[in-house]
Amino acid sequence: MRIVVVGTGYVGLVTGTCFAEMGNRVICVDTDKEKIQSLRQGCIPIYEPGLAEMVKRNCDSGDLKFSTSLAEAIENAEVVFIAVGTPMGEDGSADLSYVLAVAREIGECMSGPLVIVDKSTVPVGTADRVRETIQIALQARAKHDASVGAFHFDVVSNPEFLKEGSAVADFMRPDRVVIGADSADSLAVLESLYEPFILRGNSLIAMDVRSAELTKYAANAMLACRISFMNEIAQLCECVGANVSKVRAGMGADSRIGTAFLYPGCGYGGSCFPKDTAALIRVMKEQNSCSCLIEAIEKVNDDQKTLIHRKIVRRFGDSLNGLTFAVWGLSFKPNTDDMREAPSLVTVRELVRRGAKIQTFDPKAMPQAQSFYFHDLASSVAYCKSKYDALDGASALILLTEWSVFRSPDLDELRSRLLLPIIFDGRNQFERFDLCNAGFEYYAMGIPGSQFPREK
């Protein structure tokens, strides 16, 4: 099938590459000339395991190409995916200006029948706006060329459910494929396109367009709800002397609940959960629908991101002048360099504001931090060559991202390099170690009673 994917961000690049992997002829389009040139040379702008190798393989075969011209790419296309960004506006709503700009351009340059697919995460009703925008552009062209008015197109919703760090695997072996289509013909086209991805029995769920648009927001809000719920329970555990890991095990054994997304931590981040919950709240308010639960999810998460530095202040005092802290992990989750809405953004800035110096190590996110997120903190944040180098001269270790490289540290090395044997664990990664018996002060999430070294 001949496919155009507009947008070479996280979703667009993964989508186009995976479709090419299945033998489709794919052109990925972006207005950023430097980005397109870099992609043509094999330089991938994001870190995603397996993606770079797949891009190169399909570029070499000719199944994957990159272009800055939508007009040229769309000339022989059968399906066009809109996969541009929908950043969060000041009021929490999704900014659809990029989506509608692509729709307008499609209407201005399409030369035959098309199935147009909204892959970007968009609020309910966006397909109607895309359809209207394309139709207006076609009508303007029809004033000079009557044949344009006969071009047929359908707008379909096909939300993505990719997890950063495993996006390629998620696309190639999806839990489910959701297709919102109001036309049997366009549904058949998408079913044919996705058939190779669901041969192992994974489900393709067809529905109306508006239900598909809402499914993405509802799914992410549900996952965010589980995280915030467990984080709130973790705080209660600390107050009453319970162990959140034991509570989680008891809850998760119930088949109606399960254990997924019930791990307490220092807050969720990334490009999806914060943006999508905010957008869902905005849609609910616009429709005069109750948003109390979703707003509470957001509030709990915002509060959770402050918990690590509040624990540090309780231990060291309000002023952190003269103190250095080692930070392991900057990205919002492992296996990605994405720092959008990451807990590290809150923790690092608050510690620096109180006078502390930071020595950090992250396997992938340090270039992003240095050039963009913490570019104004150059005198206070040092980027280290290894996880152990970050410990030298530090008064405590702070773990914010559960990269596998941090999972089994040498405790003797930690104790010898840190000025004080103190660990603040934002992901409960070290709970399995008997750190207190090893002489460490250990502060975790929802695990009281083990904060201080035991007397020998």
Asked whether the beta carbons of 437 and 411 are under 8 A apart, the reply is no
How many CB atoms sit inside 10 A of residue 119's CB? 23
**Options 18, 59, 225, 272, the catalytic residue:** 272
Distance of CA 422 to the CA centre of its chain: 31
Contact 330, 339 (CB under 8 A): yes
Q: Which residues pair with 177 in a beta bridge?
A: 204
Q: Label the pairing between strands 422-425 and 396-399.
A: parallel
DSSP 117: E
The CA angle 367-373-374, to the nearest 5 degrees, is 85
Radius of gyration of the CA atoms of the chain, in A: 24
Q: Are 361 and 331 in contact (CB under 8 A)?
A: no
Helices (H), 122-257: 126-142, 167-172, 184-194, 209-240, 244-252
53, 137, 63, 65: which is closest to 101 by C-alpha?
137
18 is catalytic: no
- Please give the biggest Cα pair distance in the chain: 90
d(CA 173, CA 155): 25
- Note whether 114 and 106 are within 8 A (CB): yes
10 Å CB burial of residue 268 (0-12, 13-18, 19+) is buried
- Helix or strand holding residue 360 (H, E): strand 357-361
Rounded to the nearest 10 degrees, how much is the dihedral formed by the CA atoms of 94, 95, 96, 97?
A: 180
> 50 is written with which tokens?
């397996």
Kindly report the backbone phi and psi dihedral angles of residue 290, in degrees, each rounded to the nearest multiple of 5, phi listed first.
-65, 130
In the β-sheet with 64-67, what is the strand arrangement from edge to edge? Answer: 64-67, 25-29, 2-6, 79-82, 114-118, 153-157, 176-180, 203-207
Find the DSSP H helices in 363-449.
Answer: 366-368, 411-417
Beta bridge partners of 180: 157, 207
CA distance 452 to 435: 9
Q: Which amino acid does the sequence have at 63?
A: D
Catalytic residues: 272
